[in-house]
Structure 1
Amino acid sequence: MSQKTWGGRFTVSTDKRVELFTESISFDQRLYKHDIRASQAHARMLGEVGLLTNDEAKKICEALNEIGETIEAGKMEFRIELEDIHTHIERALIERLGDLGRKLHTGRSRNDQVVTDVKLWTREAIDQLDKDLAEVQKAFLVLAEKSKDLVLPGYTHMQRAQPILAAHYCLAYVEKFQRDRDRLQDCRKRVNILPLGAAALAGTSLPIDRHSVAAQLEFAEVARNSLDVSSDRDFTLEFLYCLSNIAIHLSSWAEEWIFWASTEFDFLILPDAFCTGSSIMPHKKNPDVLELTRGKTGRVIGHLQHMFITLKGLPMAYNRDLQEDKPALFDSFDTVSLSLQVAAPMIVETLFKADRITARLEDGFLDATTLMEYFISKGVPMRSAHEAIGNLVRECESRKCRLAELPVEKFEDILPGHGPGVFALLGVQKSLTSFRSYGSTSPTEVQKQLDYWNELFQAPVESKPETSAKLKKRKKK
Structure 2
Amino acid sequence: MSQLLWQKPGVQVDARIQQFLAGEDVILDREFFLFDIDASRAHAQGLQQIGILDADELAGLERELTALAEDFKAGRFVLDEQYEDGHSAIEVRLVERLGDAGKKIHTGRSRNDQILVATRLWLKDRLARLAAVCRESAQVALARAGVEGAMPLPGYTHLQRAVVSSLGMWWAAWAEGFIDDAQRAQQTLGWVDANPLGSAAGYGVNLPLAREHTTSALGFGRMQVSAAYAQLSRGKFEMAAIEALSSALLDLRRLAWDLSLFTSAEFGFVALPSQYTTGSSIMPNKRNPDVIELMRASYSAAAAARTEIEQLLSLPSGYHRDLQFSKGAIFHAFGRGLGALELLPDLLRNLEWKTEAMRAALDPSMYATDLAVDLARQGLPFREAYRQAADPARWAQGDPEASLAARTSPGSAADLRLAELQQRLDALQ
Aligned AA (1:116): V
Aligned to 1:141: 142
Aligned to 2:411: 439
SS of the residue 2:155 aligns to: strand
User: Which segments of structure 1 move beyond 6 Å, counting only runs of 4 or more?
Assistant: none
User: What is the percent sequence identity of the aligned residues?
Assistant: 31
Please say if 1:184 is aligned against 2:185. yes
Please say if 1:385 is aligned against 2:408. no
Say which one has the larger Rg.
1
Change in 2 beyond 3 A, CA 1:56/1:360: same
Inter-partner Cα distance in structure 2 for 1:454 and 1:224: 38
Inter-partner Cα distance in structure 2 for 1:316 and 1:460: 39
Aligned AA (1:230): Q
Aligned to 1:303: 305
Aligned to 1:67: 68
Inter-partner Cα distance in structure 2 for 1:176 and 1:386: 32
Alignment check: 8 A CA contact 2:27 2:80 kept: no
Aligned to 2:293: 291
Moved more, 187-196 or 128-137: 128-137
Inter-partner Cα distance in structure 2 for 1:318 and 1:141: 47
Q: TM-score, normalised by structure 2?
A: 0.94
Q: 1:224 offset after TM fit, Å?
A: 2.0
Please say if 1:200 is aligned against 2:166. no
Change in 2 beyond 3 A, CA 1:289/1:79: closer
1:229-240 map, 5 Å:
229-232=230-233, 233-240=235-242
Q: 1:453 offset after TM fit, Å?
A: 4.8
SS of the residue 1:365 aligns to: helix
1:52-451 map, 5 Å:
52-232=53-233, 233-311=235-313, 313-361=314-362, 363=363, 365-390=365-390, 392-393=391-392, 395=393, 403-404=395-396, 426-442=398-414, 445-446=415-416, 448-449=417-418, 451=419
Q: 1:17 offset after TM fit, Å?
A: 4.5
Alignment check: 8 A CA contact 2:278 2:287 kept: yes
Q: 1:190 offset after TM fit, Å?
A: 1.7
Alignment check: 8 A CA contact 1:19 1:80 kept: no
Instruction: State the superposition RMSD in angstroms.
Output: 2.0
Aligned AA (2:107): T
Alignment check: 8 A CA contact 2:195 2:215 kept: yes
Aligned AA (2:360): A
Inter-partner Cα distance in structure 1 for 2:270 and 2:296: 18
Alignment check: 8 A CA contact 2:154 2:361 kept: no
Aligned to 2:19: 19
Aligned AA (1:315): P
Alignment check: 8 A CA contact 1:160 1:364 kept: no
Inter-partner Cα distance in structure 1 for 2:188 and 2:344: 24
Change in 2 beyond 3 A, CA 1:10/1:154: farther
For each residue in 1:75-99, what CA deviation from the matched residue of structure 2 results, as whole angstroms up to 9, or x when unmatched? 2243425221111111101101111
Moved more, 133-142 or 367-376: 133-142
Change in 2 beyond 3 A, CA 1:437/1:283: same
Moved more, 208-217 or 156-165: 156-165
Q: 1:284 offset after TM fit, Å?
A: 1.2
Inter-partner Cα distance in structure 1 for 2:224 and 2:342: 34
Q: How many residues align?
A: 426
Q: 1:213 offset after TM fit, Å?
A: 0.9
Aligned to 2:6: 6
Aligned to 1:475: none
Alignment check: 8 A CA contact 1:29 1:85 kept: yes
Moved more, 372-381 or 96-105: 372-381
Aligned AA (1:432): L
Alignment check: 8 A CA contact 2:364 2:396 kept: no
For each residue in 1:108-152, what CA deviation from the matched residue of structure 2 results, as whole angstroms up to 9, or x when unmatched? 111011110010010011111122222222332343344233111
Unaligned runs of 5+ in 1: 397-402, 406-425, 463-477
Inter-partner Cα distance in structure 2 for 1:208 and 1:297: 41
